[in-house]
Structure 1
Amino acid sequence: MDKIIDKAFEAQNNAYAPYSKYKVGACVETYDGRFYIGANIENASYGLTCCAERNAIFAAYSDGCRKENIKSIAIVTSGDVPASPCGACRQVLSELIPKKAEIILSNGKEVLVTDIESLLPMSFGADDIK
Structure 2
Amino acid sequence: MQVTLLPAGLSGNEFETVKKNALKARELSYSPYSKFRVGCCIMTGSRSYILGANVENASYGAGICAERTAIVKAVTSGYMKDWICLAISGDSLESCISPCGICRQAIREFASLQLPVVMFNGDGSKYIVKTLQELLPLSFGPEDLQEGSDSQ
The two structures have a TM-score, normalised by structure 1, of 0.94
Of 50, 64, 75, the residue aligned with 2:78 is 64
CA deviation after TM superposition for structure 1 residue 3, in Å: 0.7
Pairing 1:111–2:127 present: yes
Alpha-carbon deviations, 1:24-55, whole Å to 9, x = none?
A: 00000011110100000011221111000111
1:2 maps to which residue? 16
What is the match of residue 141 of structure 2?
A: 125
2:111 equivalent among 97, 112, 115:
97
Instruction: Give the whole-Å Cα distance in 2 for the aligned partners of 1:48 and 1:86.
Output: 16
Q: Do residues 38 (structure 1) and 52 (structure 2) align?
A: yes
Q: 2:12 is matched with which residue?
A: none
- Unpaired runs of 5+ in structure 1? none
Shift of 1:126: 1.9
Displacement after TM superposition at 1:100 (Å)? 0.8
Identical aligned residues as a percent: 38
Residue 83 of structure 1 is matched in structure 2 by 97
Aligned positions of 1:4-19 closer than 5 A: 4-19=18-33
Task: Give the number of equivalent residue pairs.
Answer: 129
| Partner SS state of residue 42, structure 1 | coil
The amino acid across from 2:88 in the alignment is I
Q: In structure 2, how many angstroms separate the alpha carbons of the residues matched to 1:114 and 1:8?
A: 16
Partner SS, residue 29 of structure 1: strand
Q: Which amino acid in 2 is paired with 1:109?
A: S
Q: Give the SS at the match of 1:71.
A: strand
- The structure whose Rg is larger is 2
Range moving further from structure 2, 109-118 or 120-129: 120-129
Deviations 1:65-105 (A, max 9, x none): 111x1100110011131111011001101111111111010
Secondary structure of 1:55's counterpart equals helix
Partner Cα separation in structure 2 for residue 84 and residue 71 of structure 1: 18
Name the CA distance, whole Å, in 1 between partners of 2:143 and 2:77: 25
User: What is the RMSD computed on CA atoms of the aligned residues?
Assistant: 1.0
